[in-house]
């Protein structure tokens, strides 16, 4: 009946999305890490690691992210927990998967780190463990969430034009959006507020800059949003 006692190792892994320019437009990318030991030695996998003895799960996700890739995400959210008994040949492992977003400038830092590679989401396959499925699920959920929650702002800076925000949505959804309709939808939702600033230096009419509105009483009580990198 009652089992009790430590029976499993608990690990966290994170699917991190960011936007990187590719050919003409921005595309969603995620970092993968080359494994340096069994199982799946040499294969690419999601960054992650074991939880510390006195460490919260989300903290462990952030820490392992920094250790393996150097990235500090602007948004972290729990995705799913995997616990199939046969997941790993080296003993019982329960993996808590997190989903995260990083801003593009932060993403550039990874270039210096060895054994880490950015891959476009469309080409992310052949990963270790069941990470292919995990990525597919995280992507599905991000696309769904972008429709009703303002998660996209975590891929941008403090202020942004609605054109930039639209670019982000287009990259996440993988299709183009009508600028006029997008503007109406976003403004009406109250998720952004206009500033008095305009973005100058562009080649055409300078767009007004907007700022994200704090969500207030959000949906799920357990979403964790990290502050910007210190």
Residues that bind its own copies (CB under 8 A): 1-10, 49-57, 67, 78, 80-85, 91-92, 94, 96, 133, 136-137, 140-141, 144, 219-222
CB-based contact 213:193 (threshold 8 Å) = yes
Question: Which of the listed partners (DNA, its own copies, none) does 52 bind, with a CB threshold of 5 to 8 Å by partner kind?
Answer: its own copies
In the structure encoding, which two tokens stand for residue 104, read together?
């593009």
CB of 147 to its own copies, least distance (A): 11
CB of 138 to DNA, least distance (A): 23
CA 146 to chain centre: 12
Closer of 114 and 205 to DNA (Cβ): 205
Question: Which of the listed partners (its own copies, DNA, none) does 206 bind, with a CB threshold of 5 to 8 Å by partner kind?
Answer: DNA
Dist. CA 122–CA 100, nearest whole Å: 18
Q: What single DSSP character describes residue 65?
A: H
Q: Is 132 in the site for DNA (CB under 7 A)?
A: no
Question: Which of the listed partners (its own copies, DNA, none) does 181 bind, with a CB threshold of 5 to 8 Å by partner kind?
Answer: DNA
Dist. CA 96–CA 44, nearest whole Å: 18
Spatial CA neighbour of 128 closest among 39, 11, 68: 39
Dist. CA 11–CA 219, nearest whole Å: 27
What residues make contact with DNA under the rule CB under 7 A? 161-164, 178-181, 183-185, 188, 198, 200-208
């Amino acid at each position: 009946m009652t089992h009790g006692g430590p029976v499993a190792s608990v690990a966290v892994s994170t699917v991190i999305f960011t936007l990187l320019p590719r050919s003409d437009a921005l595309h969603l990318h995620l970092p993968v890490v080359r494994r340096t030991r069994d199982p799946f030695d040499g294969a690419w996998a999601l960054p992650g690691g074991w939880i510390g003895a006195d460490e919260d799960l989300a903290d462990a996700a952030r820490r392992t992210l920094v250790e393996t890739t150097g990235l500090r995400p602007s948004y972290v959210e729990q995705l799913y927990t995997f616990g199939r008994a046969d997941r790993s040949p080296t003993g019982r492992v329960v993996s808590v998967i997190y989903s995260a977003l990083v801003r593009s400038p932060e993403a550039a830092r990874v270039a210096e780190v060895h054994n880490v590679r950015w891959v476009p989401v469309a080409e992310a396959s052949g990963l270790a463990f069941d990470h292919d499925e995990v990525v597919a699920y995280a992507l599905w959920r991000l696309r769904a969430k972008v429709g009703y929650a303002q998660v996209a702002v975590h891929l941008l800076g403090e202020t942004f034009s609605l054109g930039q925000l639209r670019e982000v949505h287009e990259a996440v959804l993988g299709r183009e959006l009508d600028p006029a309709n997008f503007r109406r939808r976003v403004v009406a939702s109250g998720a952004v507020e206009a500033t008095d600033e305009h973005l100058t230096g562009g080649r055409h009419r300078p767009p007004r800059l907007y700022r994200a509105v704090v969500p207030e009483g959000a949906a799920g009580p357990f979403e964790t949003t990290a502050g910007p990198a210190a």
